[in-house]
Amino acid sequence: MTALYSIGLGVGTQNAKGEWLEVFFPQPLLNPASAISECISSALDYEGGNQALSLSTEQLELIAEKLTAAGELELSQLARTLKASKRPLVAVLLAEDAAPVSVPEGYLKLHLISHRLVKPHGTKLTGLFGVLPNVAWTNMGAIDIAELPARQLQARLEGKVLSVDCVDKFPKMTNYVVPTGVRIAHTARVRLGAHIGEGTTIMHEGFVNFNAGTLGTSMIEGRISAGVVVGEGSDLGGGCSTMGTLSGGGNIVISVGKESLIGANAGIGIPLGDRCIVESGLYITAGTKVALLDDQNQEVQVLKARELAGKHDLLFRRNSMSGRVECKTNKSAIALNEELHANN
């Protein structure tokens, strides 16, 4: 059979109409071995394409038997573990990397990113917002918004309180995936589909959206918007912001290079190169007029910030006398404190 792009065996939540609200995939697979693909495909009579198939206990046992015979013992054990579920089960088989058309497909792709199997922008998520339902995330799990009042009343009648943590299309990442070697001070501020690199520390005010994140050791005290990628060794200061593709950045992919610093309450609307600094309180958009200075602090020319997108070793600052934005060569790279970032 043709090699599959991804496979996931999951357990999730459906509303009273049988519609999926969310799915948890304990072991998502990217480019699975042909033996695994064959075992699962044959057990489910899979005929190709991208599909989300409901799972029965009989099918799970057949999958487990086939995987055991193929020597795939870890995945076989997962299949047998899922047999005890009291919640709906699903198998997602993706023949190709295409835009998700169902909730299980969307959740599998978000899992792939948060499990670090693909980097942000490494899998197609076009139309995901339209696929995922808005859900009440509560201490009793995901609940359909229309069914929430009845569930709240029922909880009260039983002497309980149903606590609604948030109402959103995306759950917090740590309820599904906790990557190794990270610190996350406020877990509700990191959405499923975030890519948190080994060694990253996210402080209480830090935020990471889906299809965005860090590639290695970084200090995040600011906002990483949807689609934004932060390079190894960079620092986003408290209250700083990065303009994402969903917040005015259009189709431009905003990124922060290696060993760069965005100061407290600063922000960027252009891709930032390696070893760059944006001083505290300075927000640079693509149209910001920037005066380039030479080593003698003399103006060379004035241009728009978009012309400096992705350039390395730059220091952006605001002249305290004239108020103009200036840029000159940054001669000091940012070095993160190794002791603070030992997250093992």
Domain 173-329 indexed as CATH 2.160.10.10: yes
So what's the pLDDT on residue 295? Answer: 84
Predicted model pTM: 0.93
Angle, in degrees to the nearest 10, between helices 57-69 and 73-82: 170
CATH of 137-168 among 3.40.50.300, 3.40.50.1820, 3.30.60.70, 3.20.20.70: 3.30.60.70
Identical topology for domains 6-132 and 137-168: no
Provide the residue ranges of all domains of the chain, joining segments of one domain with +: 6-132, 137-168, 173-329
Query: What residues act catalytically?
Result: 221
Predicted confidence (pLDDT) per residue in 190-233, tens digit? 999 999 999 999 999 999 999 999 999 999 999 999 999 999 99
What does the alpha-carbon distance between residue 134 and residue 154 come to, in Å, rounded to a whole number? 21
Name the stretches of the chain with pLDDT < 50: 247-249, 336-337, 339-341
So what's the pLDDT on residue 341? Answer: 47
Contacts of 176 (CB under 8 A, 6+ apart): 24, 25, 111, 114, 192
Q: Which two tokens stand for residue 69?
A: 């015979």
Predicted confidence (pLDDT) per residue in 122-143, tens digit? 999 999 999 999 999 999 999 9
Domain 6-132 indexed as CATH 3.90.226.10: no
So what's the pLDDT on residue 344? Answer: 60
What is the C-alpha radius of gyration for the chain, rounded to an integer number of angstroms?
23
Residue 342: strand pairing partners: none
CB of 204 within 8 A of CB of 188? no
Contacts of 200 (CB under 8 A, 6+ apart): 182, 183, 213, 214, 216, 217, 218, 219, 220, 341, 343
**CB under 8 Å, gap of 24 or more: what pairs does 144-153 form?**
144/15, 144/16, 144/19, 144/21, 146/15, 147/15, 147/16
So what's the pLDDT on residue 270? Answer: 94
So what's the pLDDT on residue 248? Answer: 47
